[in-house]
Amino acid sequence: MTDLLHTPLYDLHADLGARMVPFAGYAMPVQYPLGVMGEHTHTREKAGLFDVSHMGQVILKADTFEAAARALETLVPVDILGLGPDRQRYGFFTDDKGGITDDLMLANRGDHIFVVVNAACKAADIDHMKAHLDGVEVTEITDRALLALQGPSAEKVLAALDPKAAEMRFMDVATLTLCGAECWVSRSGYTGEDGYEISVPAAQASDLAKALLAHVDVEAIGLGARDSLRLEAGLCLYGHDIDTSTTPAQANLGWAIQKVRRAGGARTGGFPGAEAVLGELFGGAERKRVGLLPEGRAPMREGVELFATADSDAAIGQITSGTFGPTRGGPVAMGYLPMEHTTPGTTIFGELRGKRLPLTVCALPFVPAKFKR
């Protein structure tokens, strides 16, 4: 733990009694005294505060937003040029074979694009952008923390600090003043709940976090509950549910590629692996990420092999994420299956401790999203 990086909230985590673990090179809180189940339920019912300062924050700036957007579209297969001012969009980098090298959030801030990338990939992502975005200044932001306030009480909690927070809708981005700090805020998150992600100057992060935690509805939430929340919401974790071996169509992320970037669109292709990516979107992939409901109470976790029948010789797929879903009231999982086995209601089998146990294929998400549209 002594060799790990610390976020600006490290001391606060210690004061709150967090159990710290290594994650993507950082010492991060996996849970607090409330416990993973309690933290999960509190976020669903009220509001949870997450430290996600390990994520990468990057500003892309060119002579115009259009120039920066056109450049980034050579690396990301989504419509950036058509993204409205102060709006955010989900996207991903692809490689020459159509595999996903990272997923990200990007926002139109008028004179620049603000990008948030995954912690484990941020160094490679930044190098990738610097190498390939001609005419674009790529600046990593290293003096700001990143907080996520998630749950049905998030709006009233944040609006008490700046009323403009209540005016934002899902995927809006704004600059708010919170406890005297200039914060870059998006109405988005990684839990399926309404909420916000807040980029705050590092020197003021602890004061802001303490002010949010002072509200009766807010509890500190660790990585354990963050994982169960995002899995119930059917959201991918990079390096597990998506990676260079998965394409957007296989990952069931085709919705993130707008018509203008698809075959026949005004700006079709032009990104790494476009032929493979667009070909699968048009003709279909051989496999797909699906939701899975194991029978009983025992979770089936990442790496469990999946079989068509209880006595099949060869595995047909594998679980990529699995845990107990407190809101769902039972185990939930995601994994990849051949297309002929992806119809909701299909029964397949997972091998757990030498036994073949049934799972039911189901639609995602497991818990309906509650974003404020």
CATH number for the domain that contains residue 177: 3.30.1360.120
Q: What pLDDT score was predicted for residue 79?
A: 98
Query: Which pTM value belongs to this model?
Result: 0.97
For residues 228 and 334, membership in a common domain is answered with: no
For residues 204 and 353, membership in a common domain is answered with: no
Q: What pLDDT score was predicted for residue 233?
A: 98
DSSP secondary structure, 74-135, as one string: TT--S--TTPPTTBEEEEEEE-TTS-EEEEEEEEE-SSSEEEEE-GGGHHHHHHHHHHH-TT
Strand partners, 57: 116, 141
Q: Which of 199, 232, 265 is the last residue of a domain?
A: 232
What whole-number distance in Å separates Cα of residue 366 and Cα of residue 232?
Answer: 5
Please check whether residue 364 is in contact with residue 291, taking contact to mean a CB–CB distance below 8 angstroms: yes
- pLDDT > 80? residue 1: no
Residue-wise pLDDT for 81-128, tens only, equals 999 999 999 999 999 999 999 999 999 999 999 999 999 999 999 999
Does some domain include residue 337? yes
Please check whether residue 31 is in contact with residue 19, taking contact to mean a CB–CB distance below 8 angstroms: yes
Does some domain include residue 155? yes
Residue-wise pLDDT for 326-350, tens only, equals 999 999 999 999 999 999 999 999 9
Report residue 261 CA to chain centroid gap: 22
Does some domain include residue 358? yes
Residue-wise pLDDT for 203-224, tens only, equals 999 999 999 999 999 999 999 9
Please check whether residue 94 is in contact with residue 101, taking contact to mean a CB–CB distance below 8 angstroms: yes
- pLDDT > 80? residue 256: yes
Report percent pLDDT > 70 for the chain. Answer: 100
- Which run of H or E residues covers position 29? strand 26-31
For residues 186 and 298, membership in a common domain is answered with: no
Distance (Å) of CA 38 to CA 156, 193, 228, 358? 21, 16, 12, 29
- pLDDT > 90? residue 294: yes
Please check whether residue 260 is in contact with residue 266, taking contact to mean a CB–CB distance below 8 angstroms: yes
- Which run of H or E residues covers position 125? helix 122-132
Q: Which residues, 6 or more positions from 85, have their beta carbon under 8 angstroms from its beta carbon?
A: 108, 109, 110
Q: What pLDDT score was predicted for residue 361?
A: 98
What whole-number distance in Å separates Cα of residue 209 and Cα of residue 88?
Answer: 24
Please check whether residue 315 is in contact with residue 307, taking contact to mean a CB–CB distance below 8 angstroms: yes
Residue-wise pLDDT for 267-289, tens only, equals 999 999 999 999 999 999 999 99
Using DSSP's 3-state secondary structure scheme, residue 362 falls into strand
Q: What pLDDT score was predicted for residue 347?
A: 98
Q: What pLDDT score was predicted for residue 104?
A: 98
Does some domain include residue 89? no
Name the pLDDT band for 2 (thresholds 50, 70, 90).
confident
Does some domain include residue 66? no
Does some domain include residue 162? yes
Cα angle vertex 271, ends 231, 108, to 5°?
65
What whole-number distance in Å separates Cα of residue 46 and Cα of residue 215?
Answer: 11
Report residue 277 CA to chain centroid gap: 21
- Cis-peptide, bond into residue 248, ω within 30° of zero: no
For residues 222 and 351, membership in a common domain is answered with: no
Does some domain include residue 200? yes
Average pLDDT, the chain: 97
For residues 220 and 291, membership in a common domain is answered with: no
Residue 318 belongs to domain spanning: 286-366
Q: What is the pairing mode between strands 218-220 and 47-51?
A: parallel
Domains in the chain: how many in total?
2
What whole-number distance in Å separates Cα of residue 15 and Cα of residue 36?
Answer: 18
Does some domain include residue 64? no
Look-up of token digits 């809101």: 327
Give the CATH number for residue 343.
Answer: 2.40.30.110
